Amino acid sequence: MARILVIDDDRMMRELYQEILTRRGHAVILAENGTEGLAKVEENPDLIIVDLTMADGDGYEFLKRLRAIPGRATTPVIVSSGQLVGDVAIAGADRFLAKPFRGSELIALVDELLSSSRGTAS
Amino acid sequence: MASGVTFRLVPGLSARDRAATLAVLENAQWVYALGRYPKKQVLADEIDVKMLRDRIGAMRKAAQELSPAQRKKIDVPWARLEDDPDETPDMLWTVAKKVTPRVLAEMRPLVSDTPEAAFLITPEPKTTAAKKTPRRPGKTKAKTRGKIGGKNPRHRR
């Protein structure tokens, strides 16, 4: 089980992430925007999922500020968006999840990132 | 210098209809995306069925925000989008396959002048299956082309 922080300004999306991830046995921390997300980074998530193109556009800002936090430079991050985004590496993320997606696609990405980060940590 | 991106201005859509149209489309693209996977696979997955139900519900809700005049202008089978408390997964699938591509095709051009629309899914045009010509019995060609030891000259010594 992992602790996963989800940042998305769409209520339906947050509910969807929660449903998928809790069924998988993960603990989910929800945030509606980048500022709230940064505050919840204190809860020590193992993985972060952030909507890059939220209405206030602060998904990019969240990533930039997250990477500047000591000890958070390598926390796995999945960015999600319904729009085409540029180089994910530049944005500071590990993976990109295009909306719309299926639950199984999200689970596969989360499993992959969690197992590789655990592999790196051990 | 001006940017190369241009948006075609579509007149005649009130702010309320525009917002409702975008909301319908945003939800419709999730339904459409799920409808492109095999039916069995989607309907066997609880999460996918829930996603289908939620997004169709949101599509319906947004469609109700459209003015009656605007609904009349669009060639969408609205009756098939009516809420049904006894809706089965099969019925959801019918909405995904029969109604949603029509919704996208009809409504997407209405908001083509908004930046949000640039990233919406465009439904693939229906392709009609090529007619198979029936084989004449008893006249099958020997399939030797390209086979080692066949009649391919490249394999001759």
Residue A41 DSSP symbol: G
Question: Looking at residue B149, what is its pLDDT?
Answer: 39
Structural domain contains residue B9:
no
* Domains along chain A with CATH numbers: 1-42+51-57+64-79 (3.40.50.2300)
**Number of domains, chain B:** 1
Q: Bridge-partner residues for A79, per DSSP? A: A50, A96
Please give the average per-residue pLDDT across A47-71, as a whole number: 87
Mean pLDDT of chain B: 79
Q: What percent of chain A has pLDDT over 90?
A: 64
Question: Looking at residue B112, what is its pLDDT?
Answer: 87
Rounded to the nearest angstrom, the minimum Cα separation between A3 and chain B is 20
Please give the average per-residue pLDDT across A94-110, as a whole number: 92
Structural domain contains residue B134:
no
| Residues in chain A, total | 122
CB contact under 8 A, B50 and A19: yes
Rg of chain B in Å (alpha carbons)? 24
Structural domain contains residue B142:
no
Q: What is the pTM for the complete model shown? A: 0.76
In this complex, the residue of B26, B48, B119 whose CB is nearest that of residue A84 is B119
Domain span including residue B61? 15-119
More reliable by pLDDT, B152 or A42: A42
CB contact under 8 A, A102 and B30: no
Chain B positions touching chain A (beta carbons under 8 Å): 26, 29-30, 33-34, 37, 45, 47-48, 50-51, 54-55, 58, 118-119, 121
Question: Looking at residue B142, what is its pLDDT?
Answer: 46
**Tokens read off for A83:** 């729009």
Question: Looking at residue B83, what is its pLDDT?
Answer: 74
**Tokens read off for A23:** 């069924």
What is the rounded distance in angstroms from the CA atom of residue B42 to the CA atom of residue A18? 19
Contacts of B58 in chain A (CB under 8 A): 12
Q: Bridge-partner residues for A27, per DSSP? A: A3
Structural domain contains residue B98:
yes
Secondary structure of chain B as H, E, C letters: CCCCCCCCCCCCCCHHHHHHHHHHHHHHHHHHHHHCCCHHHHHCCHHHHHHHHHHHHHHHHHHHCCCHHHHHHCCCCHHHHCCCCCCCHHHHHHHHHHHHHHHHHHHHHHHCCCHHHHHCCCCCCCCCCCCCCCCCCCCCCCCCCCCCCCCCHHHCC
Q: Indicate whether B46 pLDDT > 80.
A: yes
* Predicted-complex ipTM score: 0.77
Min mean pLDDT across A27-36, B5-14, B72-81, B144-153 is at B144-153
Which of A8, A9, A11, A12 is the best residue to mutate to test the B interface, defined by the most B CB atoms within 10 Å of its own CB? A12
